[in-house]
Structure 1
Amino acid sequence: MQNKQDKIGKQSVSYPSDSNIEDVITVIGRNINTPLNIAANVNVIDSTDIALSGATTLTDVLRGQSGIQITDSNSGPVFAMRGFSGSQASNNTLILMDGRRLNNIDIAAPSVDAIPLNLVERVEILSGSAGVLYGDQAVGGVINIVTRSPEDTGGKVQLLGGTHDTIEGRANVSVNINDDWSVYLAGSQNNSDNYRKHNSNKTGSILGRLQYQTAVDDFFVETRYYDNEQDLPDALTAEEYQRDPRQAGSVIGWQHEMTNASRGGYRHQFNEIWALSADATYTDSLVNSSYTFSTGPSPLRTERSLLELQPKVTASFSTASGDINLILGVDYHLGDAKYTASYMNRTDEQNMISAYSQVTVPLTSSLSLVTGGRYAYVEDELTDMTAFPEGVDLDNDATAFELGLNYRPTNAHRLYVRAETNYRFAKVDEQTYTSPGVYGLKPQTGESYEAGWDWVGAKQTLRLNAYRLDLENEILFDSSAESPSGGYYGANINADPNRRYGASLDWDWQVLSAWQVGLDYNYIDAEFTKGENKGKALPWVAKHTARAFSSVDVTEDLQAFIEAVYHGRQYLQGDFANVGPKIDGYTLTNIALNYTLNDWLGSIRVDNLFNQKYASSGNYQYGADTYYPGSERQLTLSIGYSF
């Protein structure tokens, strides 16, 4: 792994010798560990990577990384890993913030771009199933966003402005009260008209954290508030998209989301072997939204709350071959959702509890075995004015198991093989919108197999990974299914079995002390294996994606960055029979210049430099294809001061 210096404009990247190649990660694996000691495909994007790219949002950072495909219906990005369509990606990719779930109790995607980059210390990406450690929804992968913690007294203020009347302010400060206590405060406000008409947003967030840390105790409490007002344009027909992709469309809407999240945690190290920790999180959201149809506005009020409790015990036993690491834990969550509209009155109380364990055993000094299991039980108490007017209780359970081998013949090489089962339970939206006679969807289950090789040299790194993912009863929306009574079209179903093959390559090379280049390539072959669509490709999954980048220190204080992100051809969402044409692939070229002067940092970034026209989301509905346009060229200027 890379050992990067923090100052932009100095030597960007330096690769250490084979004896020191470890980047510590703290949440993936739910224990302190290093990527090269985990039998999985893990990538870490640190704060220096983010600064070098000149990225202004987490979407910019994640686009093209580790096989992540992004869908955006102009209301916020959805991240897919291991070949899921945009409509299902948010249910099969688990998004965490410091280990706290951001995925909602319903199918609404987590608001990732609500997390300003001044909060982010690094991003940990685990590609592949993680059902044992994280349970529900950790099917395609896990993205954990690690925020900054108070370490030294200091802070930063930053002002950004750019295309489409975008302006954003960010500030954060940390104060060491004494050797043990510290406090961290951060806030941001972003206002923009955005690329399309009727798509403006006003987004703000604040976070406060108090932390106590000694050699044996670690305690923190934090609270965060997020507020986002956004206008929502409609999808466009093919003719509208070609004529003017910026137009709003015929059915426009708006949304105002307000979210409070409070979290506390405590960890105690009893001795050199045993430690006990527990986290508690409470989140509540209120979302008011409305779309304007020909008959008038149609308002909807959504209320969500989620209480999570996560106690766990960890242990590390020393042996002649290395440490035996053990994790035992319980995850409990109690979620409530209520939807109120003229056409809908729906409530759900969801209780989910699961217990898991994982153990890593060194078989020799260079070979380790990891195994574990999880059992989960979920109960939904649903009422819906159409589907379940008298109310219904739906119970389901699921299991996950894993077995992996991690081989380190030298510090520079790592080989691993891994098999894991996974699952996800249907969300409240999915359970209440099914075809007539269907009362409750079955849990989606899957099996994942993968193998990989990592090599870290003096000036180069190379990571190769190959995998297979088989799914049974995948939960998705089928526009051709019989709709429920009073429904518009389609329904949520348990789909026919399908499988995904894939491979990825990540390569970095420090050509000179001031010049670095890199290349990522990802291949996915996803298709149905049974049923009427046997042999058909899964829609909205690009078979080929790639990213190439170069970073150059032009002078001691001036650094330049360029990247090209390629997204291949794919069928529109909902086109399970592959009867429509594939939409064209596209390449986005982004450039950035960063200049440092003492404690000041100025940046210029241009996204989509060549003004590529592309669809960020698209739907197939009875042949009436619709599209959400992606943003064309955007310029952002920023200036920041650190103290």
Structure 2
Amino acid sequence: MRTTKTLVNRSICCALLSACVFVPNTMAAQSEPEIDKPLDIFVVIGRRLNHELDIASNITTIDHQNIIASGAKDLADLLRGQAGIQVSDSNSGPRFSIRGFTGSQAANNTLVLVDGRRLNRIDISAPDLNAIALNQIERIEVLSGSAGVLYGDQAVGGVINIITKSPQSTQGNLQLLAGSWNHKRANANVSGKITDAWSYYLSGQYDKSDNYREHNANKTGNGLARIEYKDDAQRFFVEASHSDDNRLYAGALTKLEYKENPRQASPKPHLANDYGHTITTVLRSGWRQQLDKIWQTDIELNYTNSGKTGLSFGNPFPISREQTGLYSKFIADFPVKAGKINWIIGSDITVGRANFPVRNRKNTQTMSGVYTQAIVPLNKQLSYTVGGRYASVKDELTDGQIYKNGTDLNADATAVELAFNYQLNQSNRLYLRGETNFRFAKVDEQAYTSPNVHGLKPQTGKSYEAGWNYSGSDHSLKINLYRLDLTDEIVFDPSAQPPRRGGFNGANVNADASRRNGAGINWNWQLFSNVTLGAEYNYIDAKFTEGKNTGKHLSWVAKNNARISSQIDVSDNIQFYLSANFIGKRYLEGDNGNLGKKLPSYTLVNSAINYTLNDWRFTLSGDNLLNKTYVSSGFYSKFGSGFYIGNGRNVNLSVNYQF
């Protein structure tokens, strides 16, 4: 621990010194304050204003035009079509994994943000993507790889940041959708100017569907309201959103049951009435101020209240959660002869509470962190990034079965990074990056450990990667190589000794060490002025490197997955999109000994046709056109594994009016 803290202290000092060394050269190159940048300069992963090529990381942006062209009907479908993201869906909502995590661990090792706000919860449940309507989204930024310095906890495999629309002018949008399985949706948004500086944005959606499987219907409604002030030197906003999600649970099938009828609900009587009903309210306020020609401050306060009721395995499982977060940072751009030093200093503090009445369990988790990062140009072509973070967490835990008298658990962790970015010319750049990362145990993970374990240790890791980006007049190419080593990975082990008076077998443990070696290639070709082709391939070799499963593959991680796509502008009014996504063979979740057979690989073919006429757009989309039957989530057991089935062929027609 002392060595690691020394490293982070040195990294912080390096960042400070790097920024300060060039300060005397700044006066000749200072410019007027500027907050809004041109469209090709954007907020990479929500933290700072920068161009994508200035960041020594593997970043993919899904912009508004990509979203429209894909014909995706919701956020989950849009992300499901990205080859670098593997999905686990137990027919109750997807979990997205970047760089080789099992389905149950994906939500804890892939950080999901909305405008920089954490969507991940303090317990192990997955982020609620149903609370975000697709018509609210301006773009999505996907960072593949660790981001422990900037984001700390859970930014292990990658970060997904969803950027919502901001009021710019008076306009509105109305959309109606109808599709397979009695799917119906209506959504609308409107924005406008109150004064030259003040504006508003309103959005709402209602969605219902019977869904592919029996006893799996859902009804979802959400709304958002934002008031914003913006001038040349500052921005202030207040926002409130509310979502109501109600879904029936179909349950897992045996292998024989899903082969007989993949659409059926589990015939087990104790699962017949299972459902979940989640209501979430979010309040946010933020202020950004240009302090002088160099410094800018950014502060955000948010509060989330989420309650869930329902039945699981026939038993009630009410949960209430609330979380308050305060995020502040100072950003500086120091002009120097070689360019600009971009320096950020920040702090985060979150206080979360979770109540599980059935187990008489209450948790309070307080997490805080301080960090700094500097991007320093050495010349017009070469820059380096250095940074560090220190974070601590305190869990105040009471559990009616295990910790009747309550207990306090404390832990801390650090992250450091060093990266180099080399711009060979206007078309080529190379980068090299090393970073450490960490994850703290979730509150319900801490409450279910073996009798001899009093608190799980933080999961720690080391990430190394190198990449090359080429951008020509009609071609673009990205190649990325990486290695991710994890120690004390926090997982649920069904073979571990359960806690005393535990309700089921197994326990949460710090697992043996694991390693993920991978490579990715992404290519886009403007074949003609109206025809674009794309191809992407990702390879992940994820194995245990210590313990009884040394050399075994991690479960639910496909070694190979790929995607090809084509977009054709048939005319000024008609646009056609086609994609095929390949997911390779993988072991069922929990089969860490590789005892069972791998699930077969499969390919999903999706398409969309957009027809635009003045302010109207009509979209006909089809997913899984070949009606492939596949397992979207599954759990291994030597006594009988459980399978959840992915959606069959479905077709949707939507009408969109822009006013």
Q: TM-score when scaled to structure 2?
A: 0.93
The corresponding residue for 2:400 is 385
Residues 46 and 161, structure 2, Cα contact 8 Å, conserved in 1 = no
Task: Tell me which residue corresponds to 2:209.
Answer: 192
d(CA) in 2 for partners of 1:479 and 1:238?
20
1:465 to 463, 480, 487: 480
1:628 corresponds to which of 612, 624, 644: 644
Q: Amino acid of the residue matched to residue 217 of structure 2?
A: S
Distance 1:509 1:375 in 2: 43
1:448 correspondence with 2:463:
yes
* Cα-to-partner distance string for 1:240-290 (whole Å, 9 max, x where unaligned): 111111111022411110000000000110122011110000000010021
- Classify the secondary structure of the residue corresponding to 1:26: strand
Contact 1:66 1:125 in 2 (8 A): no
Output the CA distance in 2 between the equivalents of 1:66 and 1:99.
23
Report the equivalent of 1:375: 390
Which of 528, 536, 560 is the equivalent residue of 2:552? Answer: 536
In 2, distance between residues paired with 1:21 and 1:100?
24
1:256 maps to what in 2? 277
Q: Distance in 1 between matches of 2:163 and 2:307?
A: 25
Q: 1:382-418 deviations in whole A, cap 9, x for unaligned? A: 0011121110000000000000000112121111000
Q: Which secondary structure does the structure 2 equivalent of 1:32 belong to?
A: strand
Amino acid at match of 1:394: L
Structure 2: gaps (5+ residues) = 1-36
| Partner of residue 612, structure 2 | 596
Match of 2:519 in 1: 503
Q: Which residue of 1 aligns with 2:140?
A: 123
Q: Which amino acid aligns with 1:449?
A: Y
Q: How far apart, in 2, do the equivalents of 1:474 and 1:172 lie?
A: 42
> Aligned partner of 1:543: which letter?
K
Q: Deviations over 1:118-161 (max 9, x none)?
A: 00000000000000000000000000000000001001000001
Instruction: Give the SS at the match of 1:589.
Output: strand
Q: CA RMSD in A?
A: 1.2
> Where do 4+ consecutive residues of structure 1 move more than 3 Å?
20-23
Unmatched runs of 5 consecutive residues or more in structure 1: 1-19
Counterpart of 2:103 in structure 1 is 86
C-alpha distance in 2 between matches for 1:548 and 1:21: 31
Higher strand share: 1
Per the TM alignment, residue 445 of structure 1 is displaced from its structure 2 partner at its CA by: 0.1
Determine which of 214, 224, 246 is the counterpart of 2:231: 214
SS in 2 for 1:337: strand
Corresponding residue for residue 268 of structure 1:
289
User: What corresponds to 1:394 in structure 2?
Assistant: 409
User: Match for 2:121 among 82, 88, 104?
Assistant: 104
- Give the aligned residue type for 1:190: D
Are 2:582 and 1:566 aligned? yes
State the secondary structure of the residue aligned to 1:266: strand
Deviations 1:68-90 (A, max 9, x none): 00110000010000100000000
Amino acid at match of 1:489: N
Alignment equivalent of 1:406, drawn from 410, 421, 424: 421
For 2:371 and 2:306, locate their aligned partners in 1 and report how far apart those are by CA, in whole Å.
Answer: 29
Letter in 1 for 2:591: D
Find the partner of 2:441 among 414, 417, 426: 426
Structure 1 distance, partners of 2:326, 2:54, is 28
Structure-1 separation of matches of 2:131 and 2:536: 27
Distance apart, 1:621 and its partner CA: 1.6
Question: What's the counterpart of residue 22 of structure 2?
Answer: none
Look up the equivalent residue of 2:171 and give its one-letter code: G
Q: Report the counterpart of residue 307 of structure 1 in structure 2.
A: 324
Indicate how the Cα distance of structure 1 residues 423 and 99 shifts in structure 2: closer, same or farther if over 3 A, else same: same
Which structure is higher in helix share? 2
Name the SS of the counterpart of 2:317 in structure 1: strand
The share of aligned pairs that are identical, in percent, is 51
The residue number in structure 2 matching 1:7 is none
Q: Which residue of 1 aligns with 2:498?
A: 483
Partner of 1:61: helix, strand, or coil? Answer: helix
Check conservation: 1:278, 1:310, Cα contact below 8 A. yes
The equivalent position to 1:579 in structure 2, one of 595, 602, 605, is 595
Matched with 1:516 is 532
Do the aligned partners of 1:543 and 1:570 also contact (CA within 8 Å) in 2?
Answer: yes
Letter in 1 for 2:624: N
1:61 CA displacement: 1.4
For residue 531 of structure 1, what is the amino acid of its counterpart?
G
Letter in 2 for 1:181: W
Amino acid at match of 1:591: S
TM superposition shift of 1:66 = 5.4
1:548 aligns with 2:564: yes
Distance 2:464 2:341 in 1: 24
SS at match of 2:108: helix
User: Offset of 1:43 from its aligned partner?
Assistant: 0.7
CA contact (8 A) 2:168 2:191 kept: yes
**Structure 1-normalised TM-score?**
0.95
> In the superposition, relative to structure 1, how do residues 573 and 43 fare at CA in structure 2: closer, same or farther (>3 Å)?
same
Cα distance in 1 between the residues matched to 2:434 and 2:452: 36
Give the superposition deviation at 1:501: 0.2
Offset of 1:438 from its aligned partner?
1.1
Q: How big is the shift at 1:25?
A: 2.5
Contact kept? 1:580, 1:623, Cα under 8 Å: no
In the alignment, structure 1 residue 339 sits paired with structure 2 residue 360: no
Kindly state the Cα deviation for residue 23 of structure 1 after the two structures are TM-superposed: 3.2
Quick check: 1:287 aligned with 2:308?
A: yes
CA–CA distance in structure 2, aligned partners of residues 189 and 329 of structure 1: 38
